Amino acid sequence: MSALLERIRSVVGPAGLITAAGEAAPYTTDWRKRYVGVPLAVVKPATTAEVAQVVRACAEARVAIVPQGGNTGLCGAATPDASGSQVVLNLSRMNRVREVDAHNNTITAEAGCVLASLQKAAEEAGRLFPLSLASEGSCEIGGNLSTNAGGTAVLRYGNARDLVLGLEVVLPSGDIWDGLRGLRKDNTGYDLKQLFVGAEGTLGVITAAVLKLFPLPRSRATAVVALQDPESALELLKRTLEEGGERLTGFELFSDFCLSLVLKHFKDVAAPFARRFPHYVLMELSDTRPGNELANLAESILGAALEEKRILDAAIAQSDTQARAFWKLREFISEAQAHEGPNIKHDVSIPISAIPEFIRTTDAELARAHPGVRMVTFGHVGDGNLHYNVSAPGGVAPDAFVKETAAINRIVHDSVSQFRGSISAEHGLGQLKREEIRRYKSSLELELMRKIKGVLDPNGIMNPGKVL
Ligand SMILES: Cc1cc2nc3c(=O)[nH]c(=O)nc-3n(C[C@H](O)[C@H](O)[C@H](O)COP(=O)(O)OP(=O)(O)OC[C@H]3O[C@@H](n4cnc5c(N)ncnc54)[C@H](O)[C@@H]3O)c2cc1C
């Protein structure tokens, strides 16, 4: 192994190679601290050519590679195993924006570019890069593409897969595929780039991407709406889409229990209404035209819904500060849960029309099998994605409760399957759901995935033990 490490050092220099356990620690555990690995080394190349040489060296030595970006993933996909034999290939030093083409509405960035920096570069050119996640200050575009990240604006702009036009990829052989095309039309055979999107680093290393940009919104209307139940949320979604069309940018649902957790664990947030309601929707409309048109539209949609008693109350933000305060109520939910103690998380996708029935039947099934459980239900309901998390009954220690994970997963995931949903909407499979997916994907689909993996990575060196 020392020959391999020497060869890698000669490629990346001392700044690009970490072998000391203490220094490697931040790269060897995942964000939720669920998995801890022991790597052979952490390698941080600075150019695509260096990535290619490192991958070729590992391929020749048959040493496994774990690609890594910002290490914010939620399913252990960027964590090496405990064997001490895998190389973590961290792309963070490859963080340049190579080009912004305002006429083509594209940005070309290296894989290690932090999402927030990419958004900023687009904004400086008067454009919007719409991918937006609570982890955007740390996650990197290579990781976003490899997980096909979603976030809060999927309803309008799609997920990472919809935002990519071209990729540069180092294949498991060490060859560089230059697919950095900025074309919206290109029907010259299979769409190879899409194979690497959502592949969680199992097919190759993304080193750069051409991404779509959009006009920068110049007005926004943000509102929190109080509702009786998820059915009313769907009714409001339908109405807002009919009247607001593509101006509807975000539509997030959360229960009162979620709000109570945020209010309990964060001091600088306030409840949106004087009294509490069973459910809330945070909705945002945006437009490239400045002015009050959007606020008037939001007022007319919500005013009519209120009059017809379809919603219980509504507050439209009167300033950017208030809009940001509304968003905090939604964005802080994940962290508030973490402060409350461990719970059993599910990132599921359901056809939008079936969400209320899914919640009703699955809540009932869980309450029957595990009396007293408290549901932390929230998510990007405008695109069918629910974070459907199960907390311990009052008085039961969260640490003891998580021992029920397998039984609770069975109930939730079987229910998702009955509604023809997905057990991973946006976080991926990684090592967390690698076994679980076998129950829900057909053997034909799994076999096709294995065949694709076999063609691109015949020696199985690219992120083994993840996804498949
Ligand atoms: C507070 C918080 C909120 C979040 N909110 C959301 C959300 O709303 N929506 C959402 O989708 N996710 C969310 N996430 C999850 C996470 O931020 C995303 O999955 C993100 O896309 C991961 O990017 P990363 O750079 O951190 O990737 P990593 O965690 O480093 O890696 C993720 C996967 O991608 C692979 N990978 C990384 N870089 C490359 C590369 N260059 N080439 C090939 N493979 C690579 C890794 O091997 C691994 O399989 C959240 C996470 C946190 C902590």
pLDDT of amino acid 32: 87
> Ligand 1: distance of its center to the CA of 131 in Å?
12
Structure tokens at 16: 């690009």
Whether the CB of 140 sits within 6 Å of ligand 1: yes
Contacts of 136 (CB under 8 A, 6+ apart): 114, 115, 116, 119
Residue 367 C-alpha to ligand 1 middle, in angstroms?
32
Residue 342 has pLDDT above 90, yes or no: no
Task: Give residue-wise pLDDT tens across range 29-70.
Answer: 999 899 999 999 999 999 999 999 999 999 999 999 999 999
Which residue, 189, 167, 194, is CA-closest to 178? 167
> Distance between CA atoms of 82 and 37, rounded to whole angstroms?
4
* Res. 311 pLDDT band, cuts 50 70 90: very high
Q: Which residues of 313-341 are buried (b: 16+ CB within 10 A; e: fewer)?
A: bbbbbeeeeebebbbebbbbbbebbeebe
Considering the chain, what is the average pLDDT of its residues? 96
Q: What pLDDT is stored for residue 2 in this prediction?
A: 87
Average pLDDT estimate for 231-240? 97
How is the beta sheet containing 65-68 ordered, strand by strand?
17-18, 41-43, 87-90, 65-68
- Residue having the nearest C-alpha atom to atom 53 of ligand 1: 72
CB-CB contact of 425 with 349 (8 Å): yes
What is the C-alpha to C-alpha distance for residues 400 and 342, in angstroms, rounded to an integer? 9
Task: Give the count of alpha carbons within 13 A of 344, CB side only.
Answer: 25
pLDDT at position 100, please?
A: 97
Flag whether pLDDT at 1 surpasses 80.
no
113 alpha carbon – ligand 1 mean position (Å): 13
Atom of ligand 1 nearest to the CA of 207: 41
Contact 100, 125 (CB under 8 A): yes
Task: Verify whether ligand 1 is closer than 6 Å to residue 79 (CB atom).
Answer: no
pLDDT of residue 399: 87
Q: How far apart are CA 425 and CA 384, in angstroms?
A: 9
The whole-number average pLDDT for the span 307-332 is: 96
121 lines ligand 1 (CB under 6 A): no
Exposed, middle or buried by CB within 10 Å (0-12, 13-18, 19+), for 307? exposed
Q: What percent of the chain has pLDDT over 90?
A: 95
Q: Is 248 helix (H, G, I), strand (E, B) or coil?
A: strand
The DSSP output letter for 353 is: G
The answer to whether the CB of 250 is under 6 A from ligand 1 is no
Ligand 1 neighbour 134 (Cβ under 6 A): yes
Ligand 1 center from residue 144 Cα (angstroms) = 5
Under a CB-based contact definition with an 8 Å cutoff, are residues 86 and 78 in contact? Answer: no
- Cβ-based neighbours of 2, under 8 Å, separated by 6 or more: none
CA-closest candidate to residue 356, choices 278, 250, 244: 278
Amino acid at 343: N
Model pTM score? 0.95
Band (pLDDT 50/70/90 cuts) for residue 338 is: confident
- Determine contact, residues 325/269, Cβ cutoff 8 Å: yes
Ligand 1 atom nearest the C-alpha of 91 is 41
- Predicted local distance difference test score (pLDDT) of residue 300: 97
139 CA to middle of ligand 1, Å? 6
* CB neighbours of residue 129 within 10 Å: 23
Q: How far is the CA of 307 from the centre of ligand 1 (A)?
A: 43
Summarize pLDDT for 249-276 with one digit per residue, the tens. Answer: 999 999 999 999 999 999 999 999 999 9
Q: How far is the CA of 456 from the centre of ligand 1 (A)?
A: 22
In 105-163, the DSSP E strands lie at: 106-110, 127-128
Q: State if residue 133 touches ligand 1 by the CB under 6 angstroms criterion.
A: yes
Atom of ligand 1 nearest to the CA of 141: 25
What pLDDT is recorded for position 334? 87
Distances (CA, A) of 95 to 182, 193, 399: 19, 20, 39
341 pLDDT band, cuts 50/70/90, is confident
Q: Which atom of ligand 1 is nearest to the CA of 66?
A: 47
Angle between helices 320-331 and 333-340 (to 10 degrees): 40
- For residue 218, the tally of other CB atoms under 10 A from its CB is 12
CA-nearest of 48, 46, 26, 47 to 37 is 26
Q: What is the pLDDT of residues 65-117, one digit of tens each?
A: 999 999 999 999 999 999 999 999 999 999 999 999 999 999 999 999 999 99
- Pocket of ligand 1 contains residue 70 by CB under 6 Å: yes
